Amino acid sequence: MGHRLSKIYTRTGDDGTTGLGDGSRVKKTALRVEAMGAVDELNSVIGLLLAHETPEDIRSALTDMQHDLFDLGGEICIPGRVAITEDQVMRLETILDKLNADLPPLKEFILPGGTEAAAVCHLARAVCRRAERDVIRLDEAEATSAAAKKYLNRVSDLLFVIARALNRHAGRGDVLWQPGKNR
């Protein structure tokens, strides 16, 4: 592959627009750009999570997720393009089932926290939920692929389970919500 980014600044966005992958230009506040930004932010938070020590199976799942999220960003960047498949959704479900099988059933809601890695994972989950809402808003204006919406929904579920698995791996339990604790 040749050099794709030889010049970082182009000045083409100085007027408040940005280029899409099909060459068209849209406002930086457009729904499509908001969705791309949220997916990029999610990928960045997952990168922050990967800066922590994690078990190899989780590290591998998160790294694969980052590649998928880059594909998803490309899908969103080019109207009509489809890059995320049902197979990728199923891969997440398989990982989810495997990790969740080793965790005790939840009887209470849990708070984000525990280890630093688990807390970052919960942050990634919250950012993922926003990205999912942004893609759904985009879908209401311009059709997006069903697999993309499913994928983000599974990512948020998987990040929740990964946060629990990271706490368990570190010998920490879930941080349980205590309703009315401070009344």
Domain boundaries, the chain: 24-173
How open is the CA angle 163-166-170, to the nearest 5 degrees? 145
Query: What is the sign, positive or negative, of the torsion defined by CA atoms of 134, 16, 4, 142?
Result: positive
What's the pTM?
A: 0.91
- pLDDT for res 19: 75
- pLDDT for res 128: 98
Buried b (16+ CB within 10 A) or exposed e, 111-146: eeebbebbbbbbbbbebbbbbbebbeebbeeeebbe
**Residue 49 and residue 69: Cα distance in Å, rounded?**
15
- CATH superfamily membership of 24-173: Cobalamin adenosyltransferase-like (1.20.1200.10)
pLDDT per residue, tens digit, the chain (183 aa), is 555 656 665 665 566 777 778 888 878 788 999 999 999 999 999 999 999 999 999 999 999 999 999 999 999 999 999 999 999 999 999 999 999 999 999 989 999 999 999 999 999 999 999 999 999 999 999 999 999 999 999 999 999 999 999 999 999 989 999 999 999
